[in-house]
Structures are given as structure tokens and as C-alpha cells.
Structure 1
């Protein structure tokens, strides 16, 4: 069947359809660009690196020479953390009074034995203000990883009919999703700098590499043979 519609009419339909498609596409692109809702967990709850304090408070005056055995162990662990992650000097706040006079030399001696030189210690006295137990305060600055806000933020209503209309229609994550996981990851990482860049690879085990090359040259199997004893399930855990 031959159409008698003029070519101009067909061109008009094509232009109309194209214009409608561009209009719809423009609306969609405009909404995507203007929608400021962070789509991923790392965008909503990023892990950031910042310098933060590391502190150790020591109630003094109860032990011999101002320190107890437990407190000396705590100071040694504190010094080990400073040697590994410390940025800057160690701050030492000494309470005024006889307890501080007894404790300060013991703290300095323990720090020195743990690898903290006296030149890295900045000491200052402070008034206890009538506190019952004088406290020696140690501190240094270290790099820490954390999420820059607290979890539990609910800017939109999750129930039907709430403010998060796009979340209902597009099945996207609610705002608090993934915050606890990010917080736990930031708290558990041993070295926060690992989140900023990977570590360099450790050197190859030269002895094992030499063994594998020698076997390869002789045409032998280069895989490692592991000895495994056969076990019966009924015998696991004893009889």
C-alpha cells in the first residue's frame, strides 16, 4: 500500500520524535546531575586520615616510687606505639605535689628504657585542682583513620510516602547504610597510611627461589609437597 502523505509530513514526525527524545533525555540528565545524593558507601561515609591525640593517664602515688608494675607495662606499650606511629614529641603533664615529684623521675626512666629519648619529652606541671588522685598524663600525636561523622544519620523517612522519593522508585541505599562497616574498618586498620597507598612488596625468599630454579633446570616438579595424615571423622576429637 502506497502512502500518499507528503514527505514534509514524515519529516515533521521525525523531528517531533527526535525533539521529544532529546527533551526526555535532557530531563533525565538534568535530574542525575542535580541529584546530590551520594550513591556509594565511600561517598556517603568516607574514611579520612587526620592527626589525633593518643593519651595515657596514670593515677600515681599508690605504688613504690610513684608507679605500679601495671603502670610501667602501660608506659612501655605507650612508648612502643610512639616509636611506631608517633608524630612529634611526647607530652608529659606532671601533677603538682609530692606524688608528682615521686612519679616524674620514674616515668622518665621507664620511657627512656623503652626507647624514648629525653630530648623527645616535653614536660609541664599542672595544678590538680583538689583532685583526690593525682594523674600523670602522657600524650603524643598520631595519624588516625575515621569516618568524619557519627553513624545513625537518617535524613529521610524510610517508610512509604517519606521524603526519599527516589529511594523508593530506584531502590537505592538508605543514607546510614554501610556507616558501621566503614567505622569498623577505620578502627581496625593497623596503619592508617595503608588506606592512602599500598605498601612496597617485600623481597622474594631467596632460598626458596634458588630451590625452584634448581628443580626446574633438572626437569623436576617444582611444586611443594605437603605431608598429610589420613584421619577418620569418627576419630576427630578423641574417643
Structure 2
């Protein structure tokens, strides 16, 4: 009995350090996890918006549609033997005049070549060009005739029509300021991405003021409204065929 008792007393203190070490280990690991969570939470809430938000990754930001003063031109080819404008050329001038009336209220210029082989022919069709413009509704006092020095040799110098109007445009496309591989690794679209789409959208805007403010509502059609109300009261179909 004495030997057994002594053995029990000797073996009991040997287990105590392991249990104590386990408890300390659990406390230390718990404290470490709490500290790590606090650090990660701090990193998530204190995001550096100045450095990450300052890099534009939207094509609408890199290629915005803006309203600028743009010169619109039409070059009319005139051969040295021409004495009048063809029907196709007159249609082109008429379309140019229609665009002018819808976008500008300034002056429209007729620039005639001087010193070229077709200078005489261009002077002969000058009056016909003015007639086409005035027939389309351009006021005669808005038409200005000027000349420019052309080369005596080479291609035939055209007669240029021009006017200035506020137009929806984007910045120039086709710029590649950096290597495409840099964007591939960072998973970002390249600089020229979306520029063609923005340019096409800007070219389709008939009224640039639509980008500034919406248009006023058109007046109601009183006749159509009375018809619809009458059909509704009769219980008939009010849709338009």
C-alpha cells in the first residue's frame, strides 16, 4: 500500500504541466486570432480612395462626349472642263445646306481655288452653288465667298463649303499610351477601349442640346384625344391601327 500510494503521488504532479500548457496555448491562440481579425477589419474599413479611385477604368470617363465648336466642311471636286454642277453634286450641296440650317445660325463660306488649273471652272459654278444653297433655305446674307491659293499643278483643287457649329464629339481615338500587356496582368480594359463606340454615339446625336437638357413636351393632339375618349366611353378598342 505504501508503494502504491507513493507512486500515485509521484505521477499526479507530472500531468499538471501539460494541462497548464494547453490552457496557455489556447489563450494565446485566441488572443492572436482576435488581434488578426482587428487588423484585417481596420484594413477593410480604411481603404485608400485617393489612390484606387483616381485611376479611371470606365471608357465613358476616358472618352467622354462633350460639346465643342467644330468646323464642318464639304469639298466639291471641280474638273477644269466643268461648266455646271452634276445632279449628284447638287444633292450633296443640298444635304450640306440642310445640316447647316439644323445646327448653325452663323455664316457659311464658299472657298474658291485660285491659281489652279480648274480655277476658271470653279468660278463658273460659283453662282450655281449659291443658288442651290438659297433654294434650300440658306439666307443670301449668310453666304460668304472667299478664295485660297492652290497649286498650279497636281490634283484639281476643290471648292470648299464650311460652317462652324456646336457639335457632340469625343477625344481622338487610336491612342495607345501603354503596352497592352500591362492591362492584361491587371485585368483592366485598354486605353482605347470604347472610344469608337463613343464616337459613333456622338455622331448619331442630331441635337447636341439633348445632352444638356431635355426638350419641352410637344402639344397634345386634341382631335386624337377626343377620338380615344369617345371610343373608351363606348367600350371600343382605343388602339391605333
Per the TM alignment, residue 53 of structure 1 is displaced from its structure 2 partner at its CA by 1.4
Residue equivalent to 1:89 = 107
Residue equivalent to 1:6 = none
Matches of 1:181 and 1:193, distance apart in 2: 20
Gaps of 5+ in 1: 1-11, 227-239
Per the TM alignment, residue 163 of structure 1 is displaced from its structure 2 partner at its CA by 6.3
**Residues 87 and 17 of structure 1, relative CA distance in 2, 3 Å threshold:** farther
Per the TM alignment, residue 166 of structure 1 is displaced from its structure 2 partner at its CA by 4.6
**Residues 210 and 53 of structure 1, relative CA distance in 2, 3 Å threshold:** same
Per the TM alignment, residue 67 of structure 1 is displaced from its structure 2 partner at its CA by 2.6
CA contact (8 A) 2:183 2:189 kept: no
Per the TM alignment, residue 84 of structure 1 is displaced from its structure 2 partner at its CA by 1.0
1:130 corresponds to 2:152 = yes
Which residue among 30, 47, 50 is the counterpart of 1:33?
50
Residue equivalent to 2:167 = 144
Matches of 2:135 and 2:180, distance apart in 1: 57
Q: Equivalent residue of 2:125, what SS?
A: helix
TM-score where L is the length of structure 1: 0.70
Matches of 2:81 and 2:233, distance apart in 1: 69
CA contact (8 A) 1:87 1:140 kept: no
Q: Which has the larger radius of gyration?
A: 2
1:192 corresponds to 2:215 = no
Residue equivalent to 2:43 = 24
CA contact (8 A) 2:231 2:238 kept: no
Which residue among 213, 222, 231 is the counterpart of 1:206?
222
Instruction: Provide the aligned C-alpha RMSD in A.
Output: 3.2
Matches of 2:179 and 2:92, distance apart in 1: 46
1:113 corresponds to 2:131 = no
Matches of 1:55 and 1:41, distance apart in 2: 29
**Residues 163 and 189 of structure 1, relative CA distance in 2, 3 Å threshold:** closer
Matches of 2:237 and 2:45, distance apart in 1: 61
Q: Equivalent residue of 2:56, what SS?
A: coil
User: Alpha-carbon deviations, 1:111-155, whole Å to 9, x = none?
Assistant: 222222221012112232214524221111123222213145363
**Residues 94 and 173 of structure 1, relative CA distance in 2, 3 Å threshold:** closer
Matches of 1:176 and 1:110, distance apart in 2: 41
Q: Equivalent residue of 2:123, what SS?
A: helix
Larger helix fraction of residues: 2
Deviates more, 1:17-26 or 1:48-57: 17-26
Per the TM alignment, residue 75 of structure 1 is displaced from its structure 2 partner at its CA by 1.8
Per the TM alignment, residue 156 of structure 1 is displaced from its structure 2 partner at its CA by 5.1
